[in-house]
Amino acid sequence: MTRAGERSVDESRLTGRIYDIQGFSVQDGPGIRTTAFLKGCPLRCPWCHSPESQAFYPQLSWIAMRCQGIELCRERCIHACPVSAVEFGGTRFDASENKEVRLVHIDRQLCDNCGKCAEVCYPGALYICGKDYTVDELTERLLRDRRFFERSGGGVTISGGEALSQADFTVAVLKRLKAEGIHTALDTTGFAPWETVERTLPYTDLYLYDLKHMDSARHKSATGVPNELIVDNARRLAGAGAKMQIRIPVIPLFNDDEANIRAAAEFCLTLGEAVQLVQLLPYHNLGAAKYSRISDAPAIEATPPSEEFMQGLKSMMSEYGLHVTVH
């Protein structure tokens, strides 16, 4: 039976595109969790620590340190490419061979992400990021970790990218998990039509909700989208009785000023008891190497905020009576 206002969807025909499944996650909600990361996001945050999450299509990725050198592989990846996008690149010193080995380079203008080169790359230096799962396949994989959830008060988090961009699939998986008695969390930018967000309400125990900047113009200049829809959806979720953890990525010279932090705190107060926790997430550059795996575009360069600075922001927001943590 379909709930009032819910569209009927044939779940047996649904697939979702996943770029990672991470077990033993302790940062994406209460307890020990398994997080499924869906591919594709309408935002283009330049500080994104998972750039492979942004595109909706599968992408050829290349990890230089896994590359054994084209001589050792007998140039199999180069010969496998039907459009000649895999070519000679730079070199690196291979201690096991005690010599410089020639590496490959991906011509991103030619590459169509067919994956033929990845199929013959035995060390896994070349691989396709993005795999399609049915609802049954993903649910089965997530439920393998049930014993960890039950022992720790954890559960499953559906993240992205932006999971609401694959709404039918996301709702179907959340629905299955709730039927199994699993605690569910949805990590979202909030940038989706309210009708889409509303469909997740019966099956989501906790929303991990991003607030990137309270000024819409600055939000759009950095991420490519304004924030009115995000702010409005947060208010609607609170009004619907949802529980929320507000997540604020602290990005130097973008949203780390006192005016924005105080504006965010004041907004959180308007959401009332819906806000269980405010998480301040300091910018880090641990994902910088991922940019070169999927494109020639460099990652942004910024200095991560100090622990002292982050504690100052925490104290500032705590003055408003909010429960604030730094992760």
One domain for residues 75 and 187 = no
CA distance 137 to 15: 9
One domain for residues 53 and 64 = no
Identify the CA nearest to 160 among candidates 278, 52, 275, 26. 52
One domain for residues 33 and 71 = no
For β-strands 33-38 and 155-159, DSSP reports them as parallel
Task: Give mean pLDDT in consecutive 10-residue pieces for the chain, a chain of 327 residues.
Answer: 58 93 94 98 95 96 88 88 92 79 91 96 95 98 96 97 98 98 98 98 98 98 98 98 98 96 98 98 89 86 94 98 96
- The encoded tokens of residue 309 equal 């600075």
One domain for residues 139 and 124 = no
Q: Is residue 94 part of a domain?
A: yes
One domain for residues 78 and 49 = no
Tell me, what's the pLDDT at 266? 98
Tell me, what's the pLDDT at 1? 44
One domain for residues 31 and 88 = no
- The encoded tokens of residue 41 equal 């996001």
One domain for residues 98 and 208 = no
Tell me, what's the pLDDT at 8? 64
35: region left, alpha or beta (phi > 0 left; psi from -120 to 50 alpha): beta
Residues 6+ apart with CB under 8 A from 315: none
Tell me, what's the pLDDT at 3? 55
CA distance 50 to 288: 9
Q: Is residue 143 part of a domain?
A: yes
Q: Is residue 198 part of a domain?
A: yes
One domain for residues 198 and 288 = yes
Domains of the chain: total: 2
Query: Which of these three, 98, 128, 158, is where a domain ends?
Result: 128
One domain for residues 250 and 221 = yes
CATH code for position 47: 3.20.20.70
CA distance 124 to 103: 14
One domain for residues 173 and 300 = yes
Burial pattern 140-179, b for ≥16 Cβ within 10 A else e, equals: eebeebbebbeeeebbbbbbbbbbbbbbbbbbbbbbbbbe
One domain for residues 244 and 322 = yes
CA distance 162 to 224: 14
Contact 189, 162 (CB under 8 A): yes
Q: Is residue 249 part of a domain?
A: yes
- Residue linked to tokens 């949805």: 186
**E strand or H helix at 244:** strand 244-250
Domain that holds residue 88: 59-128
DSSP notation for 177-215: HHHTT-EEEEEE---S-HHHHHHHGGG-SEEEEE---SS
One domain for residues 65 and 52 = no
Query: Which of these three, 95, 128, 161, is where a domain ends?
Result: 128
Identify the CA nearest to 133 among candidates 49, 19, 248. 19
CATH code for position 109: 3.30.70.20
Q: What are phi and psi of 110, to 5 degrees?
A: -95, -35
CA distance 229 to 240: 16
Tell me, what's the pLDDT at 287? 82
Tell me, what's the pLDDT at 11? 83
pTM assigned to the model: 0.92
Identify the CA nearest to 113 among candidates 142, 83, 93. 83
> 24: helix, coil or strand?
strand
Q: Is residue 5 part of a domain?
A: no
Query: Which of these three, 106, 128, 150, is where a domain ends?
Result: 128
